Structure 1
Amino acid sequence: MPLVVPGIQSKDNSSSEDWSNKLMGKKLGDAHDNMTFAKQDLPKEHRVVKPDSMSTMDFKPERLNIHVAEDGTVTNVKYG
């Protein structure tokens, strides 16, 4: 079984830094433009974490966690 290091690599060979570069400062939407990233292009294993929302503390190295601000702008991206 291959070793998967969270934040370094994932199943699709994208690191959280790669996703951070793609998503930081953008909003999630239906289509791409200068300020929006299309939701359908996110990895299968992902979740969007809104401020003050509850989420489980289970650790899944292949899951991309996308933290957004009140206005929906991406503020943090990490695997786990």
Structure 2
Amino acid sequence: MPLVVPGITNTSGSGSGSKEEWLNKLVGKRIADSHNETCFAKQDLPETHRIVKPGEVTTMDHRPERLNIHVDENDNVRDVNYG
């Protein structure tokens, strides 16, 4: 089990790609069933992921392999993080 230190973010994603890689792939796009210039296919996301909408309540459990995809009110990806 990895060491969890407050204030230090996991960018490795347990082999699923770094935060920066996912930011480059996703920011500004929508999550959809297939790829195009404005959408990213759900099937190509890591198995453990969740999409977080503005104001949505989420659990506080820390899962270092889970990619959290934060979208804006128009469902465009604005940020990602692991946890």
Calculate the TM-score normalised by the size of structure 2. Answer: 0.85
Give the Cα–Cα distance (whole angstroms) in 1 for the partners of residues 2 and 80 of structure 2: 23
Residue in 1 that maps onto 2:72: 69
Query: Aligned in 2, Cα 1:60/1:34: closer, same or farther, shift over 3 Å?
Result: same
Residue in 2 that maps onto 1:46: 49
Aligned-pair Cα RMSD in Å: 1.9
The alignment covers a number of residue pairs equal to 79
Give the Cα–Cα distance (whole angstroms) in 1 for the partners of residues 13 and 53 of structure 2: 23
Calculate the TM-score normalised by the size of structure 1. Answer: 0.88
| Uncovered stretches (5+) of structure 2, i.e. residues with no partner | 4-8
Q: What secondary structure is seen at the aligned counterpart in 1 of 2:79?
A: strand
| Uncovered stretches (5+) of structure 1, i.e. residues with no partner | none
> Is 1:6 paired with 2:14?
no
